[in-house]
Amino acid sequence: MIVREVEENEKNLYNKTVNHIVQSWEWGEFRRKTGLDLVRMGHFEGQKLISAYQLTFHSVPFFPQTIGYFPKGPMPDKKMIETLKEVAKAKNAAYIKLEPNVILPTGQTVSNIQGNFKKLGLIVSNKSLFTKYNFLIDLTKSETQLLSAMHPKTRYNINLAQRYGVEVNESTDEIDFDIYLKLYFETTRRQKYFGHTPQYHKFVWQTLASTNMARVLIARYRNVPLVAWMLFNFKDTLYYPYGGSSVEHKEVMASNLIAWEAMRWGKKMGLKIFDMWGALAPDASERDPWYGFHRFKAGYGPVHVEYIGTYDLILKNALYKSLNFADRLRWTFLKMKRG
């Protein structure tokens, strides 16, 4: 087996091998635009690419070392870990955070996975960036089947929005992206959570929309934009990562209709899975600040899945502890500042 960086002329081969939007070639180019150092690796047997992945390296204020981030890649194995150690050494990384896009296999327990990963030199991370749980919807079902799987209140709200005359439109126009951006940041300020910067959203939009991998859906009532979602698509999957809403006309249930229209659009495009970009645990508390959003998604009758978790590959143990302590202090400060 030969392991090397994937070359520009191997883009299509690379995209055929990876299985999540954030591992796509286009996503990597977007991350480069934000100033991150990106590495794409391929495991080849002859001319055949059998495994591929990309990860980014992030500089840290006041530290000469970097931190690697490897989201939604394949199941780690011995050869991958050996490769990551070599890449980390070249990038002066203190550690690499891995979040494999691997659903916990039936009959397996998280402790089994953790035991196997420990042998590879991976430890359970004390901080996740992607959620450990997710909601997935099978878009190959008919509209009737999808509607019947929903919670009755969700179906009622969809019908209510339709009766009010809420309209949902799909767009790749810049003017509609600006509407999305306005509603997104209205929502982050109102709900006091930390979203990505406007520049981040602009870079991801410019990169993915130009390759037909991103669009916005906007729900309007009496021509007033009430809800806007940014959707991604890669291979056979539709993703709902970001959205925003207005405080106006909550009674018309525009958010319920936009979710249903997203599913209908995915079906129209021949996509098979609707990935809702995260969920809480099955035993989530109603006091959790994200519980309302979790319950909203659950209303659409998705399958609740658990991934194998987040792990750290430590290269410099003392620095690993210092950097994690500094990160906790930073987030404590930001949360206090946000209130």
* pTM score: 0.94
3-state secondary structure string across 99-126: ECCCECCCCCCHHHHHHHHHHHCEEECC
In this structure, what token pair is assigned to residue 327?
A: 């990160």
Whether 279 and 134 have beta carbons less than 8 Å apart is answered as yes
CA distance 202 to 242: 13
Per-residue tokens: 301:
């009758």
CB 176 within 8 A of CB 215: no
CA–CA distance, 18 with 259 (Å, rounded to integer): 27
DSSP secondary structure string, 206-219? HHHHTTTSEEEEEE
Q: What is the largest CA-CA distance in the chain?
A: 61
In CATH terms, the fold of domain 133-305 is Aminopeptidase (3.40.630)
Contact 298, 282 (CB under 8 A): no
Task: Report CA-CA distances (Å) from 73 to 41, 76, 94, 143.
Answer: 11, 8, 20, 32
What string of pLDDT tens digits covers the 339 residues of the chain?
899 999 999 999 999 999 999 999 999 999 999 999 999 999 999 889 999 999 999 998 878 899 999 999 999 999 999 999 999 999 999 999 999 999 998 888 888 899 999 999 999 999 999 999 999 999 999 999 999 999 999 999 999 999 999 999 999 999 999 999 999 999 999 988 778 899 999 999 999 999 999 999 999 999 999 999 999 999 999 999 999 999 999 999 999 999 999 999 999 999 999 999 999 999 999 999 999 999 999 999 999 999 999 999 999 988 898 888 777 776 565 555 555
Q: What is the pLDDT of residue 339?
A: 56
Confirm whether 2-130+307-338 and 133-305 share one CATH topology: yes
Q: What are the structural domain ranges in the chain?
A: 2-130+307-338, 133-305
Cα 126 to Cα 50, 80, 309, 310: the distances in Å are 31, 22, 11, 8
CATH of domain 2-130+307-338: 3.40.630.30
Torsion angle in degrees (nearest 10) through CA of 230, 75, 302, 187: -30
Question: Nearest-CA neighbor of 244 among 293, 177, 183, 197?
Answer: 183
Q: Do 258 and 245 contact (CB within 8 A), yes or no?
A: no
Q: What is the pLDDT of residue 333?
A: 53
